[in-house]
Structure 1
Amino acid sequence: MREYLLTILVAALVAYLLTPSVRRFAVWFGAQAVPRDRDVHVIPTPRLGGLAMFGGMVAALVVATGLPEMRKVLGDGGISVSKALLLSGGLIVLIGIADDRWEVDALTKFAGQVAAAGIFIMQGIQIYVIPLPTGDSLSLPPAYGVPLTVLVVVATINAVNFIDGLDGLAAGVVGIAALALFSYAYLLSRTNGLTTLTAATLIAAVLFGMCAGFLPHNFSPAKIFMGDTGSMLIGLLLSASTIMLTGQFDPAILANGLFPFFVPVLLVPAVAAVPFIDMLLAVLRRTSQGRSPFAPDKQHLHHRLLQLGHSTRRAVLIMYFWVGLLASGLVGLVLFDAAWITLGVTLLVATGGVLLMLRIPGRRKSARGAAAGPGDRPADRPPMHV
């Protein structure tokens, strides 16, 4: 655990300390989000926050390679984890910088994402097996494993990119997802007497540290946005941890919980449910209207929360709540024998969350309506990134 805590701390500190310098560079470079008709933020805000997060990742990997046991993990089984993350992450960051400054077209970004997935595959990060409920594992030949790996990488990157619409939203949601992945992999390994030092666990730890270090600068009101540089980068790392966790555990050892055999497959979709659902709804909505699935609009889940009357911060915290609840509930089902108790507590907390979401904004909205005209912007709602 000490090795993981050290890498988390290094990633967080470096990302936190680099962000002010990156902010000044973004202003000088001209990479700023100028308010548009569909935006809610009202002042130009620097982008490129992903550069600081990338710096945190690089620093954490450098420290990890200096630890004897971690060095073995990073080069275990013919998989060069450090090389894969640096090459693919560097490519994604370069594309993100170009997009944050000059707005790259969707096809170019998609090609870059596929190329990043290709780097993963060449370095050995690929889906090779899928656990089955029978206790066996289904081996995937390259003809199936390669396209499935590309699909997971591209889908995860775009899911995170889609949800990057409010101050601190993407960093917080991905940070919670990374923490859930880390907890799942570490605690399950320890409970079953397996080694706790794995590449998938390390990637999740580094990702959590990156998000934690950047979030203080990005939470509402944000001083800097992560931009596509950051959203694509953290989506890439989230997909890497997902891929490497798939098939890592023998289904036979997952004896605890309500869904013992499906947990390795369901965990990441569960913790990433909010961005994935938002992405799928956006694609369906836009294509049904005859528009490009990449065409922007203001009908994301976080926009709907604002329409209910929630402030920016409350909308972000609500999204944190649901992601955290899904993640902790599923991890609890894995680690505790009392599965029905875990499920019951999760449903009870979810019910309370729904009631609070629906009741509190009504009172706030009616109070605002009496004080503000239809064209006024509420005074307590800070600028947001959309």
Structure 2
Amino acid sequence: MIAVIVAGAAALAVALFGTPLFIRFLVRRNYGQFIRQDGPTAHFTKRGTPTMGGVVIIGATLIGYLVAYVVSFFRSGALPSASGLLLLFLMVGLGLIGFLDDFTKITRQRSLGLSPAAKIIGQGAVGITFSVLALQFPNERFRTPASTHISFIRDLGLDLAFAGVAVGLVLFVIWSNFLITAWSNAVNLADGLDGLATGMSALVFGAYVILTTWQSNQSCQVLSQAGPRCYEVRDPLDLSIVAAAIVGACIGFLWWNTSPAKIFMGDTGALALGGALAGLTILTRTEILGAIIAGMFVLVVLSDVIQIGWFKMTGKRVFKMAPLHHHFELMGWAEVTIVVRFWVVSVLFVAVGLAIFYAEWIAQ
């Protein structure tokens, strides 16, 4: 548990004090945000605000994780696990794709970055690599970081390997990449108001710190008598350390990202956080539960899907503008009001998700 606290505290310090240094660097280089022309007109004043702040979030997370394991090594000789390293690989890999997208926008002086094909290829390469490796590295109990089962709170009876190992691998790669793409887009869509996606991410990853710590205490690998209450997760404590580092990084960054934002996370941060969230749901066997814990992100995505689908069918719009937060902006809500209320709803989703998680354990 000391390592979890150290990871969060170190990442918080790095993000809090490192972000202003990064802002000054970006300002000197004139690396500013471009604003979509079809968005709310109030956002035009944000043009030129430094972007690519996700670099700080990723860097702070990595430093927090490293510091935690330096402390753990001298205390108990503990080393990083396959699960933690795979999660960081997914986060950094998608963050790199986002960085290239942000950098393209800046250098070409436009609001469009990488082409859709380039994004798909890049995200696919990272996602497929993660998916294949997540089914490798069995420990002494023959557990791999991920499994081919669809999961809710634990693995369900639906095994994607029902027709053999090869088929299971292919179906798992497709399923996991669907989750990676969905969560990356969800965080990206929510990153439309100052501090909105950062605050929501801190809450969701905070929930996963609690969840993974509980899984670690109730792990089938440490309990003297494994039973239906224990969790078949390979490295829950290591996942908790990563989640805590992300929470610390988000809170430290939020100090500078809240309204009026001095810096935006950009696609660099949105894709990295979305990838990390997808990886956590896969590695903790909570793929469906994750959609409840991060329910506010789901609502943002659904608003966009509904808007596009309904417009194509009827030629009319359900919302004044999608995603959902822009609808409330055009209704006259202040930006800070929208952000805080979305945070409040996020807290409720997190509470419901953790309550379901705990209720399932009690019911066993």
The equivalent residue for 2:138 is none
Q: Which residue does the alignment assign to 2:174? A: 147
Q: CA deviation at 1:274?
A: 1.9
User: Which residue number corresponds to residue 288 of structure 2?
Assistant: 266
Query: Counterpart of 1:75?
Result: 82
TM-score normalised over the length of structure 1:
0.72
Residue of structure 2 in register with 1:365 after alignment: none
**SS of the counterpart of 2:288?**
helix
- Separation in 1, partners of 2:101, 2:300: 21
CA contact (8 A) 1:199 1:244 kept: no
Query: Alignment partner for residue 277 of structure 1, among 286, 299, 305?
Result: 299
Partners of 1:129 and 1:138 within 8 A in 2: yes
Q: 1:28 to 1:220 in 2, by over 3 A?
A: same
Structure 1 counterpart of 2:130: 120
The one-letter code sitting in structure 2 at the alignment partner of 1:74 is: S
Deviations 1:142-179 (A, max 9, x none): 02111101111111101100111100000011111111
**Preserved contact between residue 207 and residue 238 of structure 1 (Cα < 8 Å):** no
Deviates more, 1:99-108 or 1:222-231: 99-108
Note the alpha carbon deviations across 1:252-290, whole angstroms, 9 max, x for none.
Answer: xxxxxxxxxxxx343210122222222233134225545
State the shift of 1:233 in Å: 1.1
- The partner residue of 2:354 within 307, 325, 331 is 331
Change (3 A) 1:28 1:185: same
Unaligned runs of at least 5 residues, structure 2: 135-144, 161-167, 223-234, 314-319
Q: Which amino acid aligns with 1:155?
A: A
**Residues 336/33 of structure 1: CA separation in 2 closer, same or farther (3 Å cut):** same
- Aligned residue for 2:194, secondary structure, equals coil
Cα distance, 1:312–1:86 mapped onto 2, change above 3 Å: closer
User: 2: distance between equivalents of 1:194 and 1:85?
Assistant: 25
Where 1:123 maps in the other structure, the secondary structure is helix
For residues 338 and 148 of structure 1, the distance between their equivalents in structure 2, rounded to whole angstroms, comes to 26
Measured in 2, the distance between the counterparts of 1:46 and 1:311 equals 22
Residues in 2 aligned to 1:135 and 1:179: alpha-carbon distance in whole angstroms: 22
Q: 1:71 to 1:36 in 2, by over 3 A?
A: same
CA drift of 1:329 comes to 2.0
1:111 maps to which of 112, 118, 121: 121
Partner secondary structure for residue 259 of structure 2:
coil
* Alignment map for 1:157-176 (pairs within 5 Å): 157-176=184-203
- Count matched residues: 316
Q: TM-score with structure 2 length normalisation?
A: 0.76
Q: Conserved in 1, the CA contact under 8 Å of 2:101 and 2:267?
A: yes
Q: Distance in 2 between matches of 1:133 and 1:233?
A: 24
The Cα shift of 1:242 comes to 1.2
Q: Distance in 1 between matches of 2:154 and 2:81?
A: 31
Match of 2:24 in 1: 24
Q: How far apart, CA to CA, are the structure 2 residues paired with 1:164 and 1:121?
A: 26
SS state at 1:198 partner: helix
Q: Letter of the 2:114 partner, please give it.
A: V
Q: Which deviates more, 98-107 or 213-222?
A: 98-107
- State whether structure 2 residue 263 is matched by structure 1 residue 224: yes
Distance 1:133 1:306, change over 3 A: closer
Q: Deviations over 1:105-131 (max 9, x none)?
A: 233223222222123124326552234
**Aligned with residue 321 of structure 1, among 320, 323, 344:** 344
Partner of 1:311: 334
Could you tell me how far apart the structure 2 residues matched to 1:169 and 1:28 are?
Answer: 26
CA displacement at 1:311 relative to structure 2: 1.5
* Matching of residue 206 in structure 1 with residue 245 in structure 2: yes
The whole-number CA distance in structure 1 between the counterparts of 2:281 and 2:152 is 17
* Alpha-carbon distance in structure 1 between the residues aligned to 2:243 and 2:302: 24
Query: What CA distance in whole angstroms lies between the structure 2 residues aligned with 1:2 and 1:219?
Result: 29
Hey, what's the Cα distance between the residues in 2 that align with 1:121 and 1:112?
A: 14
Q: 2:89 aligns to what?
A: 84
Q: Is the 8 A contact 1:200 1:241 kept in 2?
A: yes
Q: Quick one: which amino acid aligns to residue 29 of structure 1?
A: R
SS in 1 for 2:303: helix
Q: In 1, distance between residues paired with 2:296 and 2:81?
A: 30
1:286 corresponds to 2:313: no
Secondary structure, aligned partner of 2:150: strand
Q: 1:192 Cα deviation (Å)?
A: 7.0
User: Which one-letter code corresponds to 2:294 in the other structure?
Assistant: A
Deviation larger for 203-212 or 30-39 = 30-39
1:301 Cα shift?
1.3
Which residue does the alignment assign to 2:67?
63
Q: Distance in 1 between matches of 2:7 and 2:82?
A: 17
CA distance 1:83–1:245, shift in 2 (3 Å): closer
Which amino acid is 2:336 matched to?
R
* One-letter amino acid matched to 1:218: N
1:181 aligns with 2:208: yes
Identity %: 25
AA aligned to 2:119 is K
- Matched with 2:13 is 13
